[in-house]
Amino acid sequence: AQTVTQSQPEMSVQEAETVTLSCTYDTSESDYYLFWYKQPPSRQMILVIRQEAYKQQNATENRFSVNFQKAAKSFSLKISDSQLGDAAMYFCAYRSDNQGGSEKLVFGKGTKLTVNP
């Protein structure tokens, strides 16, 4: 079974600075997707960024980028120019790309990010 580990329960960053959130995962599959979700106090799960495992190029979305190391099974999220609105819980998630299998997401336990003004 796949597992996702986020080793940092809490992180903090100064406004306008850069922060990196760590995520490692365990799988025997070669094809899969990785995601970062943001959960603000409203509880809404918001997709931040996704990465297809077959793509070598790291995904980027504006101030958010990932460092995907497939061999090391590592998928970290970098937030540049941090803003107060970035404060939230961040969850790393895995989904198999095995057609015919379940499309379920496997989540890590989350990292609580605080942004200091």
Partner 1 sequence: NAGVMQNPRHLVRRRGQEARLRCSPMKGHSHVYWYRQLPEEGLKFMVYLQKENIIDESGMPKERFSAEFPKEGPSILRIQQVVRGDSAAYFCASSPAGWHTEAFFGQGTRLTVV
Q: Does 41 bind partner 1 (CB under 8 A)?
A: no
Q: Which region among 20-28, 40-48, 56-64, 73-81 touches partner 1 (by CB under 8 A)?
A: 40-48
Choosing from 15, 81, 109, 116, the residue that interacts with partner 1 (CB under 8 A) is 109
Q: How many residues bind partner 1 (CB under 8 A)?
A: 23
Q: 19: burial class by Cβ within 10 Å (0-12, 13-18, 19+)?
A: buried
Q: Does the protein bind partner 1 through residue 28 (CB under 8 A)?
A: no
Is 42 near partner 1 (CB under 8 A)?
yes
Q: Which region, left, alpha or beta, applies to residue 9 given φ > 0 means left and ψ of -120 to 50 means alpha? A: alpha
The DSSP element (H or E) to which 105 belongs, if any, is strand 105-107
By the rule CB under 8 A, 55 interacts with partner 1: no
From 60, 61, 103, 116, residue interacting with partner 1 (rule: CB under 8 A): 103
- The DSSP letter of residue 55 is -
Report whether 43 contacts 51 (CB < 8 A).
no
Is 105 among the residues that bind partner 1 (CB under 8 A)?
Answer: yes
Q: What is the largest CA-CA distance in the chain?
A: 47
Q: What is the DSSP letter of 13?
A: E
Q: Which residues bind partner 1 (CB under 8 A)?
A: 4, 6, 37, 42-47, 50, 91, 93, 97, 99, 102-110
